[in-house]
Chains A and B, each alone.
Chain A
Amino acid sequence: MVHLACSYIPYEIPLAAGIPAARGVFEGPLPSTEGYLPRDFCAYARAFVRQYKDDDVVAIAESCDAMRRVYDVLRYWNLARTVYFVDVPRTRDPDAISFYAEELESLASKLLNSEISPCHEFSERLMLAINCMNQIRKELSDVFDLVSERQLSAGRGIELVVNVNQLLADFRSTHDAPEAVPCLTHDSEPGMFDTIIERIRGMISQTVSEPAPLSQDRSRIPVGVSGTCLLDSSLIECIENAGLDVVFIDSCLPSRTYDFVVDNKTTSRLFHALAEAYLSKAPCPRMFQGTERIKRLYELASDHGAKGLVYFAPKFCDQAYYDFIEIRQSLKALGRLPVLLLEGQYGVGKTGQALTRVEAFREMLEGR
């Protein structure tokens, strides 16, 4: 299995190579491997430092200083047998896109254990994987439209996304032996991607058909959630328990993973299409794309009628600390949108302190 450390690393590549892949999603408390990184490191980086199985592959992106150190620590201490570094640009000009396309092609070659560029069969499967992921992204975007319309609780939405992520991690386990080296031909059974989509559709219909009591009360105040990495769903549950409705979540999971489409019309330059789509998706705080992120957040808030924004910063996440300052000042200037900063580790939403602060935020919004 490939453990993806960043939403900028495409699922499509390991899927096309026939290797299950999932974004690293963890739950606290963290394993006792804290000596590898100092305590003043963000919980997500520390959570990634753990002992992996021999056939696991870890793909670390050039996200931040902390994740670069995770890459070093995993290799130096032999915590994972195979660790790849994916050099994600911080800009998205044509040069950056071309550079990233080559980086992705190189990732594919590594996953296929190939010295040369991936073969024609791989390209065909990559196209199938792109179509499959586009479909999954569309289905999940539709689910989050329901969240925005307050017909489904955001907590349920997050739960679904985590389950879909898990399904992508597990999809091959019933078909193949977990050999360390993926072999393209072993996994080219027809209809595999259709099966994945069908199973995800089943999960979605089950989620949306169940009642969502939190979203029935129209007097509840709609808010958005933003940040670098949400860590876990406890914060969303905390916000909903405090009497607020979350109408959008701008975080690695779900929006920055699922809220975009890869162009599947240009069959000849698939890596380029992937690079372009991933670098053009809703920007993460690590990117340098001027005020685009702020404008997008403001539009999200306006479109969904959010009255406030809860910004979650994993403790010691420098990207979030700097991002929050820009977001707070700019949203205040643009539309007087109040922003609440919450810092924390895994399970932050289960703490009384977080609940008190969210409740105080709700009272403030009620008074406006």
Chain B
Amino acid sequence: MAPEGVKTTKSHREIAGETRRIKVIRALARKSWVHSAAKLVINYMERRGGTPYQINAIRCFADDFKHAYLREKPCIFTSAFVPNELIYGLGGVPFLPEAASGFAASFGFAKESLAVCESLWYSPDLCSFHRAGVGASVLELAPKPAAVVVSSHLCDGGKRSLYQISQYHDCPFYILDVPYTNSLQSLDRLGKQIEEVAQSLEQEVPGLSKDHMDEAIANSNAACSHYLDLCNLRTNIPSPWRGREALSYVVLFLWSWGSPWLTKFYQALAKHAGDIVQSGEYPVRNERFRLAWLNLRPYYSPRLFDYLEDECEVSIAFEEFSYMYWDPLDARDPYVSLAKKIMSNPGWGPIERRLEVINRIVGEFSVDGVVQFAQWGCRQHNGGASVLSDYLRKKGIPFLNLDGDGVDARNSGEAQSLTRLGAFVELMESRNIRNSR
């Protein structure tokens, strides 16, 4: 049974006061000439000497968006930690509403998405990444899903918001019920579920076929290899890549495993980082401190990073969400392999797994301090703050829990965040933290 909302999305748009630009964007996103024009623009940027990794990233999304909006391939909505090799492997294109919310915030569209969501009774105390995702779906800024696949681990908002999107669009919904304990039995259960979802998607959604699975797994493994080269280069002091950019490209890390473009993107990015190390043209030349950044970032404003990187000369050496946590996938046993990937996520299971990964990041990337961006409404990450703070304190690593909101600017006090970051840098200075480590 579909809720009433299915038939009254238009009135919700009206209630939210749909703006003209939203109407224009919605219409343009579905025009084939727009996608052809975008392709020409990207080619032009490339010819004019655009940075190869940035061009590849744009192509990666442009390609997926074209397939999704023009319905050239079935578009499958997934939550952030579903292994999208499954979707590419079936010949579909994934769409992650919560990750797209970051895009929307960057381009200033999140306001309307959040407003429509609130008109539908979504509480402002929910994570804004999910609220904006639902809003974008209701406003039809997002493409229409052929099906929705979520995983039950890590984030309650992700699975529930996507369930509601599936209801609005009246499309099949699948949940991968991820066991908490990492055991053979758990892997077997999850592997079976993934296989069943793949079979069901193949039957329910015209145009999907498992014929592409080997290719998607090969793409994922190839991308992984280049990505590890990049990670290795990022251990360099000073950091060869700007943290603000790295935090923006986390979206690719969440989205594109299995896409052929991801391999090209990481290959080009690793080359770019290698060139920076060779040339010494570091983005933060006089790097004073190196931070590990946990969780995401505010996408609507770069001011925090202007301040950190340009004024304070502090680099973000590595991000928690960029941590490569899985082993290469096995094309002979793709479903168990994907199950292993899901269950290897350090955010899943007891918090000790997350602490271990943060400890590794601190060691491998010579980190001087750790900042957790405490996204409003993120119980998954924020709930670990007291443990994290104590764990790092015992290791002599300064920790800052920085309250804010990645998408909803109304929940953030930017000036307060700047003050707190400034105080944190002063604390590292006063402790002479770099020399003491």
Instruction: Find out whether the CB atom of B377 lies under 8 angstroms from the CB atom of A90.
Output: no
A321-B123, A322-B164 known; A329+B4 contact, CB < 8 A: yes
The one of B5, B179, B384 in contact with A72, judged by C-beta atoms closer than 8 angstroms, is B384
Interface bits A178-207 vs B (CB < 8 Å: 1, else 0) = 000000000000000000000000000000
Interface bits B220-259 vs A (CB < 8 Å: 1, else 0) = 0000000000000000000000000000000000000000
A65 CA to B377 CA, complexed, in Å: 11
A316 CA to B127 CA, complexed, in Å: 10
Instruction: Find out whether the CB atom of A319 lies under 8 angstroms from the CB atom of B125.
Output: no
Q: Which residues of B contact A315 (CB under 8 A)?
A: 125
Q: Is A259 an interface residue (CB 8 A)?
A: no
Q: Tell me if A's interface is mostly helix, strand, loop or mixed.
A: helix
Q: Which residues of B contact A96 (CB under 8 A)?
A: 177
Q: Is B122 an interface residue (CB 8 A)?
A: yes
Instruction: Find out whether the CB atom of A64 lies under 8 angstroms from the CB atom of B379.
Output: yes
Instruction: Find out whether the CB atom of A326 lies under 8 angstroms from the CB atom of B185.
Output: no
A87 CA to B152 CA, complexed, in Å: 12
Contacting residues of chain A (288-332) with chain B, CB-CB under 8 angstroms = 288, 291, 294-295, 313, 315-316, 318-319, 321-326, 328-330, 332
Q: Is B49 an interface residue (CB 8 A)?
A: no
A328 CA to B180 CA, complexed, in Å: 31
Q: Which residues of B contact A71 (CB under 8 A)?
A: 350
Q: Is A115 an interface residue (CB 8 A)?
A: no
Q: How far is the CB of B309 from chain A (nearest CB, A)?
A: 28
Q: Is B3 an interface residue (CB 8 A)?
A: yes
The one of B120, B160, B386 in contact with A73, judged by C-beta atoms closer than 8 angstroms, is B386
Q: Is B157 an interface residue (CB 8 A)?
A: yes
Instruction: Find out whether the CB atom of A65 lies under 8 angstroms from the CB atom of B155.
Output: yes
Q: Which residues of B contact A26 (CB under 8 A)?
A: none
Instruction: Find out whether the CB atom of B351 lies under 8 angstroms from the CB atom of A72.
Output: yes
A87-B179, A288-B163 known; A325+B121 contact, CB < 8 A: yes
A73 CA to B289 CA, complexed, in Å: 30
The one of A37, A70, A72 in contact with B350, judged by C-beta atoms closer than 8 angstroms, is A72
Q: Which residues of B contact A322 (CB under 8 A)?
A: 126, 156-157, 160-161, 163-164
Q: Is A35 an interface residue (CB 8 A)?
A: yes
Q: Which residue of the partner chain B has the closest CB to A63? A: B156
The one of A73, A87, A288, A330 in contact with B180, judged by C-beta atoms closer than 8 angstroms, is A87
Q: Is B175 an interface residue (CB 8 A)?
A: yes
Chain B: interface size category: 35 or more
Instruction: Find out whether the CB atom of B164 lies under 8 angstroms from the CB atom of A325.
Output: yes
A71 CA to B352 CA, complexed, in Å: 12
The one of B3, B122, B175, B181 in contact with A91, judged by C-beta atoms closer than 8 angstroms, is B175
Instruction: Find out whether the CB atom of A76 lies under 8 angstroms from the CB atom of B185.
Output: no
Contacting residues of chain B (134-193) with chain A, CB-CB under 8 angstroms = 152, 154-157, 159-161, 163-164, 167, 175, 177, 179-181, 185, 189, 192-193
Q: Is B385 an interface residue (CB 8 A)?
A: yes
Instruction: Find out whether the CB atom of B121 lies under 8 angstroms from the CB atom of A341.
Output: yes
Interface centre among A37, A38, A295, A326 (most CB of B within 10 A): A38
Q: How far is the CB of B416 from chain A (nearest CB, A)?
A: 16
Q: Is B36 an interface residue (CB 8 A)?
A: no
Q: Which residues of A contact B123 (CB under 8 A)?
A: 313, 321, 343
A91 CA to B197 CA, complexed, in Å: 14
Interface bits A58-88 vs B (CB < 8 Å: 1, else 0) = 0000101110111111011100000001010
A65-B155, A85-B180, A329-B3 known; A37+B386 contact, CB < 8 A: yes
Instruction: Pick the 3 closest A-B CB pairs, nearest first.
Output: A69-B383, A329-B3, A322-B160
- Residues in A lying within 8 Å of B, measured CB to CB: 35-38, 40-41, 62, 64-66, 68-73, 75-77, 85, 87, 89-91, 95-96, 99, 102, 286, 288, 291, 294-295, 313, 315-316, 318-319, 321-326, 328-330, 332-334, 341, 343
Would you mind naming 6 contact pairs between A and B with Cβ atoms under 8 Å apart?
A38-B385, A40-B376, A66-B383, A321-B126, A329-B5, A343-B123
